[in-house]
Structure 1
Amino acid sequence: MSEQYDRLLELLRQQGLTLEQAKDRVAEHAALLSLARPNEGITFDSTVRDLLQAEERQIEIRKAAEPESVDCDSADEFIDVLSPRHPRFWHSSSEAWVFRGQANADWPILPSALRSTALLPDGTQGHWSKTAPSQFTNDGQVRRELMALRDFYWRADRIGLSIPGDTVEVRQLMADDQCLKRLRDADGAFQWPAQALVPLMALAQHHGLATRLLDWTRRSYVAAYFPATEAAKWHCESQAGVATKATHLVVWAFKFKRSLDGLGRIWESLLEGDMPKGEIIEHSVPAAGNRNLHAQEGLFLTESKLLLSGRKTVTIVPFEDQIKRHVAGYSTMKERHSIRFRLPIAEAPKLLMGLHRIGVDAASVFPAGDGITKALHERAWWPK
C-alpha cells in the first residue's frame, strides 16, 4: 500500500500541492468517508486505493482532451495523413470527425464575430467599425451582431434572395428594434446564437458577414483547401519580398460526439437548475438553400452558452480550449478526440496543386462562375 500512497502523493503534488498539503488532503478525505459511511468498513488503505484510481482516471481524461500533434514535412505526406481512408478517421455511428483549416497554425480558433478584425455596426448612425469585442458587454456585442444580421436580412429580402429558415417568427424578430429583449428569458439571460436565426446566420457567413458560428466540414481535403490557398498566396508574396510571420498552416480534426448525447446532458443540467458548461453543439442548417454549404459538406459548431445581460464584458475563449472541456466532460473518453495537423507554409503551393489534382479547388467548393475563375487564378500560386 505504501507504493500506492506514494504514487497518490506524487500525483497530488503535480497539481501544485506541497507534500504536507497532499498528505492532509488524503487524511481529510479518509476521515470524512469514515464518518459518512461508518458501517462500510472504510479504511485508510481503501481510501488511498480509491483516490489513486480516481486520479489516474482523471489523468487519462485530461490526456484525451489534449490534441494530438502531427507535423508533416511535405504536401504529399499531408494529403496522405488527411485521407478519409486513414484508419484514424474510422468512427462509430454516434461520433464523426469534422475538420477546420487555418492558414496560420498559431491563430486561435475564434468565430469571425469575436475577432478583433470583425467589421460590425458600432451603433452610431449606421456606421460600422473594427472595434474589438472585448470592448463591449455581452449585450453590446450581441446587439452589434444582431444589427448586422438584420441589415443583411432586409437587404437580401429586398433583392429577392432566398433566405433559409424565413419564418414568421424570424421576420417579426428582424422587424423589431428591440429584438434582443425578445431573446431574453425571465432572468435576463439569453441563448446566443438563437437557434431560429442559425440558418440566416449561416447564409450571411457564407457571404462574408461576421457571425458567432464556426465553419467546419466533414471533408478533410476541403478543410485543407482554405489554408492552402491563403498560405500559398502568402508564400508567393514572401518570395517577392512581402514579409509574413506564419511558419505553418494547420488542419484541426475533432471527433465530435454527436448532439443527441450532448443535448441530453444539457437537458439534464437544465432540469437540475445548472447552466450547461463546455457543451459543443452542431447547428443543423439545410444545405439545399446554401450551395456553398452543400459543396463543402459544411456544418457549424458553437458552444452552448447562456449569456447574462448587464455589464459583464465579453469573454473570449478559443474554441480549441472549449474542445478540451467538451472532451473532458465525457468520463468514458480515453483516446484522443482532437488532432492538429501542421505543414510548413513553404509547402502550401504544392498542397494547393495537389488538392486540385484530386478535385478540390475553388471551383468545387464555390460552385459558380466566380469559383471557376478563382480556381484558374489560383494556378498563379502553384509551384513553378
Structure 2
Amino acid sequence: MFRGQPSDKYKLTPSVCRRGTGSFAYGSPRRVFDASTAGQVAFELEILRRFLIGCDRSGLNVPGYTEQLSGTLADGWGSFQSPHIPWPSTQLYEIMAVAQHYDVPTRLLDWTERSFVACYFAASSANLEIDCREMPRLAIWALDTTSAIHWKTVKVIRTPGGTSKNQAAQSGLFTTHEVKGYNPDDLYQVEALEDVEEIYSTTGSHTPIVKMTLPVEEAPALLDLCSRLGVDGSTLFPGFHGVAKSVKDWANIEVGVRPSQSLIQEYNEDGYDPDFH
C-alpha cells in the first residue's frame, strides 16, 4: 500500500501524535503538563468525544457509532482508558476513519492501495511557491503488508466502503500504532512507522518500507499524469468540493512552481538570478 506526503522530511507519524509548533492543540495544558501515555490516550479520547457530541448536535449519522457506544460515551469512556486494553479499540475504528476524513486528528495514518492516488496526494499538497534555494522534494511511501498479520503494534485497518465515500473513491485504508500494557505514569514516546522495529523483523531479507522522492518542481507534471489516468480531485473527492479541487489542480499545472516574493528579494539582494530551476 502507498502514502503520498508533500515533503520528504515528514515522518510517518499519525497527526494526533505529533508534537511541537504547529501540531494540533499545541500549547494546551493537556499536552504541556501531561506527557504520559495515559494522558495521550485521554487526549485522543477527548477529541473523539467532542467530535461525536458535535455530530449528535448536528443530527449527523456516524458509521460505527452504536447505541452501546453512545451509552459508554455518556459514562465518560473510562473503559477505553485501561492500560490493559489495547488503544485504540477496534470498536472505534470506523468512527476514527470518519473523523480522519474530516481533518480531525486521530491515531490513524492514511494509505491507499493505488500508487497513483498516493502520487496525487503528494503532488497536490506540495507547496509550489518555493521559499528556499534548495529545491524541496515530495515523497511517496510504499509499505509491504505481507507480514502484517505478525505485527503486534502496527495494525492495518480496512473499514467498510460505506464509512466514507471519499475513502471508497481513494481505495483508502489505514495503519495505527497500538498502545497497551503501559504504566499510568509512563512517558509517551512518539514513534514514526518507519522506525517501528517489528515491521522489519518479520519480513526476512527484503525491506518492507520504501520511500521514493521527487523534486517539487516535478509536482505539476505528476499532477498532469495523474489526471490523464483519471486520478484527480473530482474522482477522489466525489462532489462539488472535489470538482473545485480539480480546477485548482489544473491551475497549478498551468502555472507550475514559482519562487516566493521573499526568495526573489533574497536573490536580488545577493545579486543572483531568481530563475532557480
Deviates more, 1:245-254 or 1:288-297: 245-254
Alpha-carbon distance in structure 2 between the residues aligned to 1:131 and 1:106 = 27
Asked whether the equivalents of residues 2 and 111 of structure 2 are also in contact (C-alpha less than 8 Å), the reply is yes
Q: What residue is the counterpart of 1:155 in the other structure?
A: 54
Shift of the 254–293 alpha-carbon distance from structure 1 to 2, 3 Å rule, reads same
Report if the CA contact (8 A) 2:6-2:125 is conserved. yes
Give 1:22's aligned residue.
none
Q: CA separation of 1:174/1:358 partners in 2, compared to 1, >3 Å: closer, same or farther?
A: same
TM-superposition CA deviations, 1:92-138 (whole Å, max 9, x none): xxxxxx0011111111110000112332498xxxxxx4986896211
Distance 1:149-1:121 versus aligned 2 partners, 3 A rule:
farther
Aligned partner of 1:329 among 184, 202, 209: 202
For 2:79, the equivalent position in structure 1 comes to 182
Q: 2: distance between equivalents of 1:309 and 1:176?
A: 23
Q: CA RMSD in A?
A: 2.5
Q: Are 2:102 and 1:169 aligned?
A: no
Q: Encode CA deviations 1:116-162: one digit per residue, 9 max, x unaligned.
A: 2332498xxxxxx4986896211112111111111111211222222
Verify the 8 A CA contact 2:155 2:178 in the aligned structure 1: yes
Q: Matches of 1:369 and 1:135 in 2, distance apart?
A: 42
8 Å contact from structure 2 (residues 37, 182) kept in 1: yes
Aligned equivalent of 1:375: 246
Give 1:104's aligned residue: 7
Q: For residue 383 of structure 1, report the CA deviation from its aligned partner.
A: 4.2
Letter in 1 for 2:217: A
**1:288-299 aligned within 5 A:** 288-299=162-173
Q: Verify: 1:250 aligned to 2:123, yes or no.
A: no
1:281 to 2:155 alignment: yes
SS of equivalent residue, structure 1 residue 202: helix
Change (3 A) 1:245 1:230: farther
Indicate if the aligned counterparts of 2:135 and 2:217 stay in contact, CA closer than 8 A: no
Task: Supply the distance in 2 between the matched residues of 1:159 and 1:202 (Cα, whole angstroms).
Answer: 19
Name the aligned partner's letter for residue 326 of structure 1.
I
Contact 2:110/2:175 (<8 A) preserved: yes
Identity among equivalent positions (%) equals 31
Counterpart pick for 1:144 among 18, 37, 43: 43
TM-score with structure 2 length normalisation?
0.83
Distance 1:355 1:313, change over 3 A: same
Q: Which residue of 1 aligns with 2:267?
A: none
Q: Deviations over 1:156-207 (max 9, x none)?
A: 1222222111223321222222x2x31255xx43311111111101100100
Equivalent position of 1:25 in the other structure: none
Give structure 2 stretches of 5+ with no counterpart. Answer: 256-277
Aligned pair in 2 of structure 1 residues 132, 121: CA closer, same or farther (>3 Å)?
closer
Deviation per CA, 1:46-67: give whole Å up to 9, x if none: xxxxxxxxxxxxxxxxxxxxxx
Structure 1 293/245 Cα, relative in aligned 2: closer, same or farther at 3 Å?
farther
Q: Distance in 2 between matches of 1:211 and 1:130?
A: 19
Q: Is the 8 A contact 1:190 1:308 kept in 2?
A: no
Contact 1:224 1:251 in 2 (8 A): yes
**Are 2:90 and 1:203 aligned?**
no
